[in-house]
Amino acid sequence: MCTAATYKTQDFYFGRTLDYEFSYGDEITITPRNYPFYFRHMGEVISHYAIIGMAHVAGDYPLYYDAVNEKGLAMAGLNFVGNAVYQEAEEGRENVAQFEFIPWILSKCASVKETREVLNKINLVGTPFSEQLPSAQLHWIIADENEAITVECMKDGMHIYDNPVGVLTNNPPFEQQMFQLNNYVGLSPKQPENRFSDKLNFNAYSRGMGALGLPGDLSSASRFAKVAFTKMNSFSGTSEKESVSQFFHILGSVDQQRGCCEVADGKFEITLYTSCCNTNKGIYYYTTYENHQISAVDMFGENLNEKELIKYPLIKGEQIYWQN
């Protein structure tokens, strides 16, 4: 399972949890402006916007999971198993392989508005990256500081939804996730008022009872409601540190601990990493399952006119600050 969210204070933040039972070998990867992209069906793009994000780099190609470009457009792919259906390549259309989707959009679009136009022309195809890395069944959230959308390719074609809540998890399809939020309309961060019956006396014996009924399990539909409630009611200062801290708390509401989601005998899905990107400043913050200290890579700290990928391995292992 995975969860993605957006958050706006002074700047705009975008990030995700990557929940899985193993890592593909992920690195913070900066694709500078002159790294040549060779798109399988669309040819070469020599110069483009710079991108920073989490990727598995295979054969010098950045297979991005989530990323943001230098214009502040952000995008993440999350599992959509059993629902994602890609098309066959067609003559005369902009055929983009599923693994190229993030590079294709982030290399050329500066906003969601521009993305919508590019999406109208795309035919998202299932061409695999390699025999070892076949097509992943995903859906995507794409966001800038003004709006967010969800893109789902299903058997009846590509759907582009406005995403007013700015979150995405996994199954079921996005329209159903949004519909199910109706179940929680009565929840509130305030203490509950008695609407049950004026013939009974109630005692709000604990704080937090206004949100009683908010799910806490790890299913995708439950995480959608949990993180939507947390994000929509989130309150923080607007400084960088306060915003980043709050963002990690928002995604912390759907963190997966080893042991609670068994996907095969003795194999557990966990939150391998959590990311938070300041899309305005091009800074990629992250924590990993074993390292709660926030680490960061600043895209603009690099020479973005280079041609070679710039990679930073994840810092793993707890960084404990001893006070005596």
Ligand X SMILES: C[C@H](CCC(=O)NCCS(=O)(=O)O)[C@H]1CC[C@H]2[C@@H]3[C@H](O)C[C@@H]4C[C@H](O)CC[C@]4(C)[C@H]3C[C@H](O)[C@]12C
Q: Could you list the residues that contact ligand X (CB under 6 A)?
A: 1-2, 18-20, 24, 56, 63, 65, 77-79, 81, 99, 129, 133, 135-136, 138, 170, 220
Angle at 227 between CA 184 and CA 68, to 5 degrees: 140
Q: In terms of CB distance, is 65 or 104 closer to ligand X?
A: 65
Q: Is 2 a catalytic residue?
A: yes
Q: How many residues does the chain have?
A: 324
- Cα–Cα dist 216/194, whole Å: 24
Distance of closest approach, residue 137 Cβ to ligand X, in angstroms: 8
Q: What are phi and psi of 140, to 5 degrees?
A: -135, 150
Q: Of 18, 103, 15, which Cα lies nearest the Cα of 309?
A: 103
Rounded to whole angstroms, the Cα distance separating 260 from 222 reads: 14
Q: What's the min distance (Å) between Cβ of 255 and ligand X?
A: 14
Nearer to ligand X, 19 or 255 (CB): 19
Which residue number, 145 or 151, has a Cβ lying nearer to ligand X? Answer: 151
Closest distance of CB 58 from ligand X, Å: 7
255 touches 218 (CB < 8 A) = no
Closest distance to ligand X from the beta carbon of 205 (Å): 36
Q: Among residues 20 and 240, whose Cβ is nearest to ligand X?
A: 20
Cα pseudo-dihedral 92, 94, 99, 104, rounded to 10: 150
List residues with catalytic annotation.
2
